[in-house]
Amino acid sequence: MCIKQPRIVFRIEIATLSNPDGRLNIKKMDRLAMLISNLRNSGKEILVVTSGAIALGTEKLNLPKQPSSLIEMQATAAIGQAGLIRFYQDQFAIYNQIVAQVLLPSDIMDNEIRVENARNTFNTLLDMNIIPVINENDPVSTIDIELDDNYPLALNVAKITGADIIIIKMDANGSYSILPKGGNKGILTKDDLNCTKTRRSLQTSRINTQPKISLSQLKRSILKFR
């Protein structure tokens, strides 16, 4: 049985779309954009949570490595964010998709008004058939930017939007972690993903309604594309 109009959060680690030298791999991004566009065209609602602002800022500044101090990381993220959203815009435009940039603070769940405003924005964008591309507002963040970890952001977006599934791009070989909201509703099949030559190994679990979920929980369910 096919999933009817699921709302899906894609968590993308920009390193999985990069070459060994750290530069973005257009072919990998094109494959991802095609997959997500196919899902969007089939009626599924898609939100993309991404990282990469600091990495792109480091590349833009021709630095030998990413900065280590918090202030320099924040400044580098501000430089890289413009290139990051442009990269998504260009790749998704090939498949006639429009993306919108949304930057969220790391402590958004502590403020009910912000949560409601974000929810209204996401719902409106999805109603307009727009793909929100979400990143943490790194230039003013102090927690997750130091951990280099956007997993909490993906979970917060899922909670805010009532997403059915989180799909996490985990490595450059095409591994994905899936967190369905509950029961069979969250299980993706080959037909649901509109993919061919797909091999899958799935376990199901609920999106935790508590504030935190462990990284080990996120990595239990793996979907592999070959």
121 against 223, higher pLDDT: 121
Q: Determine how β-strand 45-50 pairs with β-strand 7-12.
A: parallel
Is 2 part of a structural domain of the chain? Answer: no
What are phi and psi for residue 100, nearest 5 degrees? -130, 135
Q: DSSP letter at 105?
A: -
The whole-number pLDDT of residue 22 equals 63
Residue 221 has pLDDT above 50, yes or no: no
Q: Would you tell me how many other CB atoms lie within 10 Å of the CB of residue 192?
A: 17
**Mean pLDDT, residues 50-59 taken together:** 84
Q: What values do phi and psi take at 34, rounded to 5?
A: -65, -45
Query: Of the given ranges (64-68, 109-113, 165-169, 172-176), which has the lowest mean pLDDT?
Result: 172-176
**Average pLDDT of the segment spanning 218-224:** 37
According to DSSP, the residues that pair with 198 across neighbouring strands are: 225
Residue 134 lies in a domain: yes
Q: How many Cα atoms occupy the beta-carbon half-sphere of 58 within 13 Å? A: 16
pTM of the model: 0.74
**pLDDT classification of 164: cutoffs 50, 70, 90:** confident
Instruction: Specify whether the CB–CB gap between 178 and 223 falls below 8 A.
Output: yes
- With respect to residue 77, please indicate whether it lies within any of the assigned structural domains: yes
Q: Is the pLDDT of residue 202 over 50?
A: no
Report the pLDDT value the prediction gives residue 153, as an integer from 0 to 100. Answer: 87
* Residue 162 belongs to a domain: yes
Q: In the numeric block, which tokens belong to residue 68?
A: 């280590």
Residue 123 C-beta-side C-alpha neighbours within 13 Å? 10
Q: What pLDDT, on the 0 to 100 scale, is given for residue 201?
A: 28
pLDDT of residue 29 exceeding 70, the answer is yes
- pLDDT given at position 125: 98
Q: By C-alpha distance, which of 179, 160, 162 is closest to 170? A: 179
What's the pLDDT score for residue 21?
Answer: 65
Total number of domains constituting the chain: 1
Please indicate whether residue 18 or residue 131 has the higher confidence score (pLDDT).
Answer: 131
Is the confidence at residue 205, as pLDDT, over 80? no
82 or 207, which is more confident: 82
Residue 208 placed within a domain = yes
Give pLDDT, residue 143. Answer: 57
Q: Does 161 reside within a domain?
A: yes
| Residue 102 confidence (pLDDT) above 80 | yes
For residue 138, the domain's CATH number is: 3.40.1160.10
Inside any domain, residue 1? no
Residue 26 lies in a domain: yes
User: What domain range includes position 143?
Assistant: 7-225
So what's the pLDDT on residue 217?
A: 41
